[in-house]
Homo-oligomer: A and B are copies of this chain.
Amino acid sequence: MTIKDLSAQTGYSVGTVSRVLNDQPNVSEKAKKTILEAAAACGFQLNTNAQQLKQQRSNNILVLVKGSSNQLFSSLVEAIQSRVALTTYHLVVDYMDEDNDEVLRAVQLVREKKPLGILFPGGNRENFLAHFGRIDAPCVLVTSSGADLPFENLSSVCCDEDQAVMHTIERLIDLGHRKIAIIGGYRDRSDTARRRFQGCMAAFEAHGIPFAPEQDYANARFSYEAGYEAAEKLIARSDQYTAIFCMADVMAMGAIRALTDHGLRVPQDVSVVGFDGLSIGEYIVPRLTTVSQSVEQLAQRSVDLLRERIEGSHEAIHEVIPAELQWRESTRSIEK
């Protein structure tokens, strides 16, 4: 079933049929009615391939998801999907391996699929610096800042991570914690890890708290398991820690498990803080104290920013959404 068939059926030419189906002006009410009815009757759908081939563009927004164990991104993709569903665009999700280059992949997909724009949850600074110049479609970096990247087609939306982390650590310090450990991402590979680490250091320095990275910092991927292992490493190194700040909720939950397995109670013996505000955090025992970034807002703003760029001719915008410290049950004061 093509517009040709529809044309034959209704007696109108393919031109008129096409105009009606695309809701264009210069068609009589009568033609519109006749054709729309005939189309509805046989459940007609325009052929997307022909359409896009002709128009030299797709109607798709692409989201490039890197690594899958990070629960935050799953939620984010779903929220993005909901938001895109409200528009006339279609969301295409492309998953890729954690340790491949997302920008290189994007370069390929741009040529292959011609998306109107791309959303990058996460995203690595070096990769962008190296190859992003080859992409001319508007893009948005989500959960990571692109403010200091020199690309006018790259917007970003993220929360003020380093500030939020700094305040969180300060809160811990206020509550009497002095021996604080960090479980975080590999700083040589992850911007997120790097920025959150800066927040930690700022707090430690401002308050004169000693912190030796090689001792008090444990590397981990963004998964329960990695959090577990990192916490075990920390426990083996010292039994003095009264608090552990984790750069992701999944790490924090793994860490809590490890602490528990080693006979340490949370928060009585060790306070644990996460980052992300995953909904599971409100249900575990104890409820997880965390820096929450609103997945809804992240999704909403990033989609909106991208749409503006696609539809208008704005320049790159770097938006910061608030991060909210959710003080719950996995942390306590240790003032005497």
Contact = CB atoms under 8 A, between A and B. Distances in A.
Interface of A: 43, 45, 47-50, 52-53, 58, 68, 74, 78, 81-82, 85, 91-93, 95, 107-108, 111-113, 224-225, 228, 253-254, 256-257, 260, 279-280, 282-285
B280 A256 contact: no
Nearest to A50: B53
B283 A254 contact: yes
A74 B52 CA distance: 30
Nearest to A254: B283
A250 to B, nearest CB: 8
Contact of A260 (B49, B280, B285): B285
A159 to B, nearest CB: 22
A135 to B, nearest CB: 12
A49 to B, nearest CB: 4
A111 B45 contact: yes
Nearest to A110: B45
A241 B296 CA distance: 38
A58 B50 CA distance: 12
Nearest to A111: B45
A82 B282 CA distance: 30
Given A254-B283, A279-B224, A108 B45 contact: yes
A285 B111 CA distance: 48
Contacts of A254: 283
A284 B282 contact: no
Which 3 interchain pairs have the tightest Cβ spacing? A49-B53, A68-B78, A45-B111
A118 to B, nearest CB: 16
Nearest to A287: B257
Contacts of A111: 43, 45
Given A53-B53, A68-B78, A253 B48 contact: no
A256 to B, nearest CB: 7
Which of A47, A85, A228 has the largest number of chain B CB atoms within 10 A?
A47
29 contacts: A43-B111, A45-B108, A45-B111, A47-B53, A49-B49, A49-B50, A50-B53, A53-B53, A68-B81, A68-B82, A74-B74, A78-B95, A82-B95, A91-B95, A92-B92, A93-B93, A224-B279, A224-B283, A253-B284, A254-B283, A256-B283, A256-B285, A257-B282, A257-B283, A257-B284, A260-B285, A280-B280, A284-B284, A285-B285
A280 B78 CA distance: 19
Contacts of A68: 78, 81-82
A260 B108 CA distance: 51
Which of A82, A224, A260, A280 has the largest number of chain B CB atoms within 10 A?
A280
A58 B47 CA distance: 11
A285 B284 CA distance: 8
